[in-house]
Structure 1
Amino acid sequence: MVVPWGKCRPGARDEVRKMYVDPETLRALPARRPADAATRASRIQWDLIGDARYEVRIGGQVAGFIDVVGAVYVVLSGSRYDRAEEVVQTLVWSTATAALDQNRSRS
């Protein structure tokens, strides 16, 4: 489960701070290769729309975007990129798509 920073309980925020990763460590990770295309039967679909940007659709509707920044997936929720809001950063593709699915379910 992905919990946005603003919804973390105060004690959990201290735990998150303890998990801080040095930016140099992240830069040392290899850049991500493009994610494999989703199977046609999958409810969550994505397309590479830029050098490092994916458009993610859930049930045929644009749910958001995933930017690849080095080794990190930056997840933005919203149907338009210029108005989308960041919801999470993760190192795992499935966590990125799940965050968009969870965020869409709450709307």
Structure 2
Amino acid sequence: MPSLKELPPRRPEPPAPEDSPVRWERIDIDRYEVRAGGATIGFIDVVGAVFVVLAGRRYDRAVEVLQTLDFTTAVRSISPPGAEHAST
């Protein structure tokens, strides 16, 4: 397994489908805001090849809950129970 330093940086993720109850938007070069039901539920920071997931409505108070190499896993980790969303 290659080390994380050998993994290429991430490319921007495509936006969520219009009918998805869980949506994300790229709000900075290395940050996504994740929303459900029109409310912010968390953020995903891109650090090299790793997605760092933060749960919370405000970035300055959000709490790290997961680090993963998979964007879909990142989104699901802060999605409300039962919320279905399209895979990336």
Short-chain TM bin? 0.7 to 0.9
Alpha-carbon RMSD? 1.5
Q: Could you say which structure has the higher helix fraction?
A: 1
1:58 positional shift: 1.1
Larger Rg: 1
Q: Normalization by structure 1: what TM-score?
A: 0.72
Structure 1 segments, 4+ long, off by >3 Å, are none
Give the secondary structure class of the aligned counterpart of 2:54.
strand
Which runs of structure 2 are paired with 1:91-106 in the superposition (5 Å)?
91-101=69-79, 104-105=80-81
In 1, the alpha carbon distance for the partners of 2:4 and 2:61 equals: 27
The count of aligned residue pairs is 81
Percent of aligned pairs with the same amino acid: 52
Whose relative contact order is higher, 1 or 2, with alpha carbons under 8 Å and at least 6 apart? 2
Q: Which runs of 5+ in 1 are unaligned?
A: 1-20
2:34 to 56, 59, 62: 56
1:90 matched to 2:77? The reply is no
